[in-house]
Amino acid sequence: MKTNDTQLHSRMAVKIAEIDSICARARIMPVITIAREEDILPLADALAEGGLTVLEITLRSPHGLTAIRRLRAERPGLCVGAGTVLDRQMLAAAEEAGAQFIVTPGSTAELLQAGLESAVPMLPGTSSASDIMLGYGLGYRRFKLFPAEVCGGTAALKALGGPFGGVRFCPTGGVNPENLQRYMALPNVMCVGGTWMFDSQWVKNGDWGRIRQASAEALQLLD
């Protein structure tokens, strides 16, 4: 193995270990799109008080990067990542904002390469065996399955476990209290992503107590 290959393998091993640690802490990862800046801190606090301390802040709204910056500065006990990262420029912006991990909805050669070069661990999105192979060839072994239920749900994950024995997933998209336990029972599932514990109307109404309760109840399903 060439020196550069050895260094790459070593860096990827570290990033895989970092993703494993983040997902083990999360178990359930809220996937958050911030509609109003004033919701950033109270929403994060309600989720954390319910036990959800690893947050994926999507870059689907203009408040995404602001949320990451504020949470990193004002809630240092949380683990805050950036989601819906679509290209190299968004990855760089998320890094600059202080994101501790990166999540993408899908995979492109450019984005996978940017993830290799980044110091921040990345969980690339996949919806097929071909996507997994694209990342696998570059050393990735941890992926986000999205949209999980549309892609085949637990049946798809069981099937993918055959050819990709060393690969593990964070399924997101359609995960809910009714199927949560089925997902988490699979050996190739590290954690799940979801939104059911903070209904958009609850956020709009500032019903932080209800969000705190829903977060705690979600985790209780895994005990």
Residues that are catalytic: 56, 144
| Residue positions counted in the chain | 223
Q: Which of 21, 32, 87 is nearest to 60 (CA)?
A: 32
Q: How far apart are CA 104 and CA 86, in angstroms?
A: 6
* Spatial strand order in the sheet of 102-103: 122-123, 102-103, 79-83, 54-58, 28-32, 192-194
Q: Which of 171, 168, 162 is nearest to 135 (CA)?
A: 168
